[in-house]
Structure 1
């Protein structure tokens, strides 16, 4: 009877990792679309910046910095709200209802701290790729 429980736990862990990957992919796609829109909307400004000598690396850096900091701030706020929500969930002993006893134990409370830097990393990579592509098309 123990073997099916181990297999179920393994599948649940795999489902968690797949979910994290899908969330990262969706985040990257949203940031890429937003960066594309921002770069396209500022095409005239980019043209003027190029006329006064700004390089594509400088222009892209400004967009990358802005989107990375926004993603970092948004993920930090979202993580704080999520941790507060987890803290407010009832214990398993108080009520035997659905979604009771969920949360982190011991040192696992450090895991939410990884969310904002990872979101910023996804934003950095997605914005850099979008900026390179769009600035290449505007040339």
Structure 2
């Protein structure tokens, strides 16, 4: 109770000097950007991991003739290979639908048969699979997606690094805004600060008053900015999970995909940035007093 009563007093008049919405509004805007950057970094990392673990092990086999006997023979050979975890023939209707953006209506076109296989290990060499298949099924062509997956993973890692750079820049700008607000508060309450300092108040006490006030303002703005970012993040998460057909289930899954621990850490981190910046700014200002 004594500690609560001590903090409830405002001998420096900081509630009046630092009462505007400018600082919380600016911090809210930066927190929104920080939330987007954090979610982007984690999303890029998840995509890179998914591509490397999943798509890297996916291989397709094209057969020049879509004959049932040739398809069955190829499936028998592939399923007998130790490197292959799964092999299945692609439905011709699905193949036609995938080719529709490039070929339009594929009716009457001689389409090859396509077999989708998944390797047991993404590091397995698809060339060996193709050589063994070609010995039994002449004309079979194996296409691996490893090169494209590597490029996509490199792109995802670049986006992740860019997101962290943006996060660092946002933190730096937030610290600069808090420093400007602190100097404005010192200028507004200069007489009170000098009187209190002249009466023997320690620098830690005065700096702590400013730091607590500005830290709370920064945390409040960060909370508002993080809450404002949630709908946009949920929308992006829903677009990243198009495999859920039911709209209501997709919305629930999108909210569940958000990086809640990282988002919950934004307001406390904003408080720490505001607190530390105000402490450093006030202590440096007090050292210049006679």
TM-score when normalising by structure 1: 0.83
* 1:45 and 2:192 matched: yes
* 1:109 and 2:256 matched: no
Q: How does 1:35-114 map to 2 (within 5 A)?
A: 35-87=182-234, 91-92=238-239, 93=242, 105-106=256-257, 108-114=259-265
Q: Give the whole-Å Cα distance in 1 for the aligned partners of 2:202 and 2:260.
A: 43
Task: Identify which of structures 1 and 2 has the higher relative contact order when contacts are C-alpha pairs closer than 8 Å and 6+ apart.
Answer: 1
Q: Deviations over 1:32-67 (max 9, x none)?
A: 111112112221111111233312211111101100
Q: Deviations over 1:7-48 (max 9, x none)?
A: 101100000000100000000011011111211222111111
What is the aligned length?
132
Please tell me whether Structure 1 or Structure 2 has the larger radius of gyration of its CA atoms: 2
Equivalent pair of 2:233/2:258 in contact (CA under 8 Å): no
Higher share of residues assigned helix: 1
- Coordinate RMSD, CA, aligned: 2.4
Equivalent pair of 2:237/2:258 in contact (CA under 8 Å): no
Unpaired segments ≥5 residues, structure 2: 1-147, 243-250
Q: 1:120 to 1:52 in 2, by over 3 A?
A: same
Equivalent residue for 2:14? Answer: none
Unpaired segments ≥5 residues, structure 1: 94-100
* 1:137 and 2:254 matched: no
Deviation at 1:135, TM superposition (A): 1.0
Equivalent pair of 2:234/2:255 in contact (CA under 8 Å): no
TM-score when normalising by structure 2: 0.42
